[in-house]
């Protein structure tokens, strides 16, 4: 297939691209290579993809309406995966405008490209952040998600609503994937695995919020990537049993579906730090702080809907995933 993949030089995007390229798909990669974090890491990821003959790259911001229109018109992708977004919960609190520009305006451009070029299927990344103040565990796609705790989460919820409207109006098959705390090789410098690892190695303090009383459904990036590709291959159908009296938020009469992809095993933050310490052979200097605005205490993915409709999700153990993360980090930094 010819597949358009936005955010191809991103953390998850590179892993998804490699799976698709290895199986022989033709990938049209889009990335702005912006400076939210060190562009050299994005360029290193991109260089891994440029080794493939079946990879074409455009340096474009998805918020650029006319550039996106031109790429869709020229390339006519059969399917689209939208992973381009402005990430980060805390950054969205102090820098809100890039989130609307990339996550809302940019996503609208992708939706328009799909509907005007007869795209077979659009898959897009949402986030576990949409569950906001929910405390019922595990998080289910049938839960109400009307109470986001950050603008980032709000833009991801907006993506789901926008996607549904396009699926309903234009019969566009759309699948949204709520990712849970992704970590692993080629990870982002603004995320806790990188922040903790670099600080431990350099003997600096690590900030531990809510005094360490937090749990996260840490999900290995390769498991996320494999799940994303599996979702791409399964076009959603309208739910014949959909009730307008008791509506299911995860499905619709339209060709629209929302899934969780996670490890379904919440881990204590302190256990995650312990795995880092064990693999690095150093004890972290810890600074305990209150809960940050926008943070949640626990995340826990109910993935039964995905596994019943798509396939079983590979669930890498935390100990194995952290070991692979540290191996990559040391290799990348020549430690």
pLDDT in tens, 8-34: 999 999 999 999 999 999 999 999 999
What pLDDT is stored for residue 41 in this prediction?
96
Which pLDDT band, with edges at 50, 70 and 90, does 311 fall under? very high
Which pLDDT band, with edges at 50, 70 and 90, does 143 fall under? very high
For residue 108, is it within any domain?
Answer: yes
For residue 51, is it within any domain?
Answer: yes
In this structure, are residues 256 and 168 in contact, taking their beta carbons and an 8 Å threshold? Answer: yes
For residue 278, is it within any domain?
Answer: no
pLDDT exceeds 90 at position 93: no
Instruction: Return the SS3 of 5.
Output: strand
- pLDDT tens column, 284-294: 999 999 988 88
In this structure, are residues 306 and 228 in contact, taking their beta carbons and an 8 Å threshold? Answer: no
What pLDDT is stored for residue 19 in this prediction?
98
pLDDT mean over 280-307: 93
Q: Record the tokens describing residue 325, joined without a space.
A: 């993360």
For residue 44, is it within any domain?
Answer: yes
Instruction: Return the SS3 of 325.
Output: helix
pLDDT exceeds 90 at position 259: yes
Tell whether omega for the bond before 138 is within 30 degrees of 0, i.e. cis.
yes
Choice among 58, 152, 179, 259 that is catalytic: 152
For the chain, percent of residues with pLDDT exceeding 70: 100
Active site residue 52: no
Question: The domain that contains 118 carries what CATH number?
Answer: 3.40.50.720
In this structure, are residues 152 and 175 in contact, taking their beta carbons and an 8 Å threshold? Answer: no
Q: In total, how many domains does the chain have?
A: 1
- Cα 321 from Cα 312, distance rounded (Å): 18
The owner of tokens 């990559």 is 328
Q: How far is CA 20 from CA 27, 33, 80, 88, 177, in A?
A: 7, 21, 12, 26, 17
**Beta-bridge partner residues of 127:** 179
Helices and strands (DSSP H and E) totals, the chain: 12, 13
For residue 245, is it within any domain?
Answer: yes
For residue 274, is it within any domain?
Answer: no
- The CA dihedral of 77, 78, 79, 80, to the nearest 10 degrees, is 10
Q: Which domain holds residue 47?
A: 2-179+220-262+299-315
pLDDT mean over 295-321: 95
What pLDDT is stored for residue 295 in this prediction?
85
For residue 124, is it within any domain?
Answer: yes
DSSP annotation of 129 reads G
In this structure, are residues 153 and 89 in contact, taking their beta carbons and an 8 Å threshold? Answer: yes
Assessment of whether the complete model's pTM goes beyond 0.75: yes
Q: 13 φ, ψ to 5°?
A: -55, -40
For residue 122, is it within any domain?
Answer: yes
81: Cα within 13 Å, side-chain hemisphere: 31
- pLDDT tens column, 201-210: 999 999 999 9
Enumerate residues 6+ apart whose C-beta is below 8 A from 209: 289, 290, 291, 292, 295
């Amino acid at each position: 297939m010819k597949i358009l993949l936005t955010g191809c030089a991103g953390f998850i995007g590179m892993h998804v691209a490699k799976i698709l390229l290895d199986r022989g798909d033709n990938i049209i990669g889009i990335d702005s290579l912006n400076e939210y974090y060190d562009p050299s890491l994005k360029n290193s990821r991109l260089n891994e993809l440029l080794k493939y003959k079946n990879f074409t790259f455009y340096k474009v911001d998805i918020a650029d309406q006319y550039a996106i229109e031109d790429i869709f018109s020229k390339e006519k992708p059969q399917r689209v995966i939208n992973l381009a977004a402005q990430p980060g919960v805390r950054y969205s609190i102090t820098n809100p405008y890039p989130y609307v520009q990339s996550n809302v305006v940019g996503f609208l451009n992708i939706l328009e490209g799909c509907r005007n070029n007869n795209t077979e299927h659009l898959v897009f990344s949402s986030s576990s952040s949409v569950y906001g103040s929910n405390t019922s565990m595990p998080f289910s796609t049938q839960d109400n998600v009307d109470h986001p705790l950050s603008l980032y989460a709000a833009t991801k919820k907006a993506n789901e609503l926008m996607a549904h409207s396009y699926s309903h109006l234009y019969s566009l098959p759309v699948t949204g994937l709520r990712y849970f705390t992704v970590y692993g090789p080629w990870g982002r410098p603004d995320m806790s695995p990188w922040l903790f690892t670099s600080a431990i190695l350099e003997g600096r303090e690590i900030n531990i919020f809510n005094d360490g009383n937090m749990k996260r459904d840490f999900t290995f990036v390769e498991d996320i990537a494999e799940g994303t590709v599996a979702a791409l291959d399964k076009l959603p159908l309208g739910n014949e049993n959909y009730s307008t009296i008791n509506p299911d938020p995860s499905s619709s009469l339209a060709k629209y579906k929302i899934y969780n992809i996670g490890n379904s095993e919440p881990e204590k933050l302190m256990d995650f730090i312990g795995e880092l310490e064990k693999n690095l052979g150093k004890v972290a200097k810890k600074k305990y702080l209150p809960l940050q605005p926008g943070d949640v205490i626990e995340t826990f993915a109910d993935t039964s809907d995905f596994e019943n409709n798509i396939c079983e999700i590979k669930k890498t153990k935390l100990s194995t995933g952290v070991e692979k993360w540290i191996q990559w980090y040391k290799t990348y930094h020549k430690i």
